[in-house]
Structure 1
């Protein structure tokens, strides 16, 4: 059951991330922070749409050739607490690695910014702690979800 007590607030947001090839970054004199290891977009029954990050995570892990225990940090957008709890149960992930700096319920869910906020939080945690791999997963509404695995460079 989703209620105001276990859901994030919604606000307006805007964001941008700079994504390019390593060659282009070198040409521009920029130092990459992380690289894409894998990415997946999946769709589930819209009635069960909050389970989308589960299948997206499974596909991203498969494409990367990694197991969940090799991922040191997870950012799963929990606009509703049930999303993160279902994800943890199905993926059998370590709860200590999930949103360790706070998630959408604690930090907010700015529409137009949530994905970039998750990515920025994840990349900077990986750099700060020396973690090699991080995973981000997020619902996109209508049953769609995506997940990506980043590798610190």
Structure 2
């Protein structure tokens, strides 16, 4: 998701500083650390309730699981913006930005 994150932020007209919470799919710890370090993500915003290593990695529903986790946590914290990111086989990645309109 290293390439996908800046593209999603640009389309949304935002920067990483605008993002309150990030759900980063981490199939492997090394991959997560590489993404966090490459993009200089604020670790206090990443996977605040645990990630796939701690909670499990349901095959085929990663996007739905991460988005649901993010939306509920954004509501609890009254966060304005959140981001879901995930790696995809073959070196690809995906990222989506969500806005809480109930603030």
Structures share fold, TM-score greater than 0.5:
yes
More strand by share: 1
Task: Give the TM-score of the pair, scaled to structure 2.
Answer: 0.94
Instruction: Tell me, yes or no, if structure 1 residue 117 matches structure 2 residue 68.
Output: no
Deviation at 1:108, TM superposition (A): 0.6
Deviation at 1:123, TM superposition (A): 0.3
Say how many residue pairs are matched.
101
Partner of 1:103: 51
Q: Give distance in 1, aligned partners of 2:19 and 2:3.
A: 16
Unaligned runs of 5+ in 2: none
Partner of 1:129: 77
Unaligned runs of 5+ in 1: 1-52
Q: Give distance in 2, aligned partners of 1:94 and 1:101.
A: 15
For residue 147 of structure 1, give the secondary structure of its aligned residue in structure 2.
Answer: strand
Deviation at 1:99, TM superposition (A): 0.1
For the 8 Å contact 1:71–1:135, the answer to whether it is kept is yes
The list of structure 1 runs, each at least 4 consecutive aligned residues, that deviate by more than 4 angstroms after superposition, is none
More helix by share: 2
Task: Give the TM-score of the pair, scaled to structure 1.
Answer: 0.64
Structure 1 residue corresponding to 2:19, chosen from 65, 68, 71: 71
